[in-house]
Amino acid sequence: MPDCSYFRSLWWKEGNFHPEAKWEEATLPYVLAEGVTLDEYESHTDKFNIHGLWEWTNYKVLVYELPLEPHEICIGTIVKEFNECCRDVNRTDASIINFGATRTRADNSGKEADASFRPMKPEVPALTGSDGKRKPWPNIIVEVAYTESINHVFEKVKDYWLKNLSRAHDAIVVKIDPVAEDVTPSRMQAWHFCSTDRRTRQGELQHRTHFEFGTRDGAGNLLDILQGTCLIKINLDCLYHQAHPDVQIPRTILPDPIVLDFFFVRSEFLRAYRK
Contacts with 226 (C-beta within 8 Å, 6 or more apart), sequence order? 263
Contacts with 63 (C-beta within 8 Å, 6 or more apart), sequence order? 11, 26, 28, 29, 30, 32, 53, 54
Model pTM? 0.93
pLDDT under 50 in the chain at which residues?
Answer: none
CB 80 within 8 A of CB 268: yes
Give helix 69-85 / helix 262-271 axis angle, nearest 10°: 140
Terminal-residue alpha carbon distance, the chain: 36
Contacts with 186 (C-beta within 8 Å, 6 or more apart), sequence order? 177, 179, 214, 215, 216
Compute the radius of gyration of the chain from its Cα atoms. 19
Q: Are strands 170-176 and 188-194 parallel, antiparallel or unpaired?
A: antiparallel
The per-residue pLDDT for range 109-132, each reduced to its tens digit, is 899 999 999 999 999 988 899 999
Q: What's the confidence (pLDDT) of residue 77? A: 97
Query: H-helix or E-strand containing 154?
Result: helix 150-156
The per-residue pLDDT for range 133-178, each reduced to its tens digit, is 999 999 999 999 999 999 999 999 999 999 988 899 999 999 999 9
CA distances from 160 to 12, 109, 154, 211 (A): 24, 9, 10, 23
CB 85 within 8 A of CB 78: no
In the chain, % of residues over pLDDT 90: 84
Q: Which residues of 49-60 are buried (b: 16+ CB within 10 A; e: fewer)?
A: ebbbbbbbeeeb
The pair phi, psi for residue 100, each rounded to 5°, is 55, -140
CATH top class, domain 69-271: alpha beta
Length of the chain in terms of residues written:
275
Helices and strands, number each (H, E), in the chain: 6, 13
Q: Spell out the domain ranges in the chain.
A: 2-63, 69-271
